[in-house]
Amino acid sequence: MLTTRPIGVFDSGFGGLTILKEIQAKLPQYDYIYLGDNARAPYGTRSFETVYQYTLQCVRWFFDQGCPLVILACNTASAKALRTIQQNDLPTMGAEKRVLGIVRPTSEVVGNYSANKKIGILATTGTVLSNSYVIEIHKFFPEVQVVQEACPIWVPLVEYGEYKTAGADFFIKKHIDELLKKQPRIDTVLLACTHYPLLEKKIRNFMPVDVTILSQGEIVANSLSDYLQRHTKMEQSISTNKMTTFYTTDDKDNFNKQAEIFYGQHIDAQQIHL
Ligand code: DGL
């Protein structure tokens, strides 16, 4: 049997597939395991403690599968669980194992896209309340004004396949209007939830035409590529058979049906019980 040491890519549900797709396009040589914790999604409205416990459980599962590196391809998990896992849990889980998130790599570059240094963040309630983007962006771009808007209904619209409907328009416009009320001169908006790229067309319809709308996939892929170039020991420990396997904590048939929309091709996932 082939022993693999894949990169683990995690999300509360389907959204991380939008990140995995871009990572694979940039780094096709590696093996990957994707896990969506669909049975317990959405994470965005859950407490810190709950998101931390769920995420930690999934990270342990990835390590049990032989992953040397896990990417939390979920802003909510990155914002609410990553730091505690890195500081408290990782030291007890194996010296050479790593968990990386997507808030920091995005914050490192997002300021470069804004000419007038006014950036809007659209995210889950959990990500907004954590204030992680405001804190991280200011580390790299102290002069940038960051305004945030939580869009709690957007993930369910996507997860339940209602995101193309006329009903979705109401909720999309509502949160964009709220964001623009906070700062009408925003010139860059970050879709800081991995589900939101599916809403991009509709978001664009309600956003002033000159606003740049950023998704994270490519940003995260570039950052991971850079990380692996700088960490050669880690890079060499990842297996390179170009194999990807998909897992969900919920019903696999439902996952396979929905996942294709996010990933762009058919997926044959297996269900796991944590
Ligand atoms: N996809 C997750 C994110 O990037 C949120 C989805 C959820 O609420 O579970 O924040």
Segment 169-193 mean pLDDT: 97
Domains 7-101+218-271 and 104-215 share a fold: yes
pLDDT band at 274 (very low <50, low <70, confident <90, very high): very high
Pocket residues: Cβ below 6 A from ligand 1: 11-13, 15, 41-44, 74-76, 124, 127, 155, 193-195
The CATH architecture that domain 7-101+218-271 belongs to is: 3-Layer(aba) Sandwich (3.40)
Is residue 137 predicted with pLDDT exceeding 80?
yes
Distance 43 CA to ligand 1 centre (A): 6
How far apart (Å, rounded) are the C-alpha atoms in residues 65 and 68?
A: 9
Q: Whose CA is nearest to atom 2 of ligand 1?
A: 74
Looking at this protein, which amino acid is placed at residue 88? Answer: N
Per-residue pLDDT of 192-234, as tens digits, reads 999 999 999 999 999 999 999 999 999 999 999 999 999 999 9
**In the chain, where the domains are located:** 7-101+218-271, 104-215
Coil, strand, or helix at residue 183?
Answer: coil
Segment 157-181 mean pLDDT: 93
Distance 12 CA to ligand 1 centre (A): 6
Percent of the chain at pLDDT exceeding 90: 94
Distances (CA, A) of 36 to 17, 56, 86: 9, 13, 20
Catalytic residue IDs: 74, 193
- Which position has the token pair 């389907």? 14
**Cβ partners under 8 Å of residue 255, min gap 6:** 14, 36, 38, 246, 248, 267, 269, 271
For residue 124, the ligand 1 atom closest to its alpha carbon is 10
The CATH architecture that domain 104-215 belongs to is: 3-Layer(aba) Sandwich (3.40)
Per-residue pLDDT, 248: 98
For residue 76, the ligand 1 atom closest to its alpha carbon is 10
**Cβ partners under 8 Å of residue 231, min gap 6:** none
Distance 136 CA to ligand 1 centre (A): 18
Distance 15 CA to ligand 1 centre (A): 7
Per-residue pLDDT, 1: 53
Tell me what the pLDDT averaged over the chain comes to: 95
Q: Which strand ranges, in their side-by-side order, compose the sheet holding 98-100?
A: 98-100, 69-72, 7-11, 32-36, 244-248, 270-271
How far apart (Å, rounded) are the C-alpha atoms in residues 259 and 195?
A: 11
Residue to mutate (ligand 1; options 34, 151, 155, 199; most atoms within 8 A of CB): 155
How far apart (Å, rounded) are the C-alpha atoms in residues 187 and 209?
A: 10
Segment 181-199 mean pLDDT: 97
Per-residue pLDDT, 2: 60
pLDDT band at 49 (very low <50, low <70, confident <90, very high): very high
> What is the phi/psi pair of residue 266, to 5°?
-65, 140
Coil, strand, or helix at residue 36?
Answer: strand
